């Protein structure tokens, strides 16, 4: 299952976008360490078992100008 999450930089914090991304990465790392089955890979689509191999997850960051929410799908 591939998921893309969009988080607006709403300006309600004194943190910069880079600082927010760093906090998000750290909290994701801590959460996946506690709930390790969510960090596993499915070796085959029909397999009911996750391969918990400590490979981590891909974390991508992107910035754009103003994009209306309806254009994101």
Q: Do residues 46 and 35 make contact, with C-beta atoms less than 8 angstroms apart?
A: no
Give the pLDDT of residue 9. 67
Query: Where does the pLDDT of residue 16 fall: very low under 50, low under 70, confident under 90, or very high at 90 and above?
Result: confident
* DSSP H helix total and E strand total for the chain: 1, 0
Give the pLDDT of residue 37. 67
Burial (CB count within 10 angstroms: exposed 0-12, middle 13-18, buried 19+), residue 32: middle
Token duo for residue 60? 């991508």
In tens, the pLDDT along 19-35 reads: 888 998 898 888 877 87
pTM comes to 0.56
In tens, the pLDDT along 44-68 reads: 777 777 777 777 677 888 777 777 7
- Each domain of the chain, given as residue ranges in start order, spans 19-72
Give the pLDDT of residue 1. 63
């Amino acid at each position: 299952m591939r998921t893309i999450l969009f988080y607006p930089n709403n300006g309600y914090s004194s943190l910069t976008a880079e600082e927010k991304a760093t906090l998000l990465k750290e909290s994701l790392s801590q959460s996946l360490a506690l709930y390790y089955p969510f960090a596993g890979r499915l070796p085959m689509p029909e397999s009911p078992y996750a391969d918990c191999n400590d490979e981590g997850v891909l974390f991508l960051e992107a910035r754009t100008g103003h994009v209306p929410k309806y254009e994101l799908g």
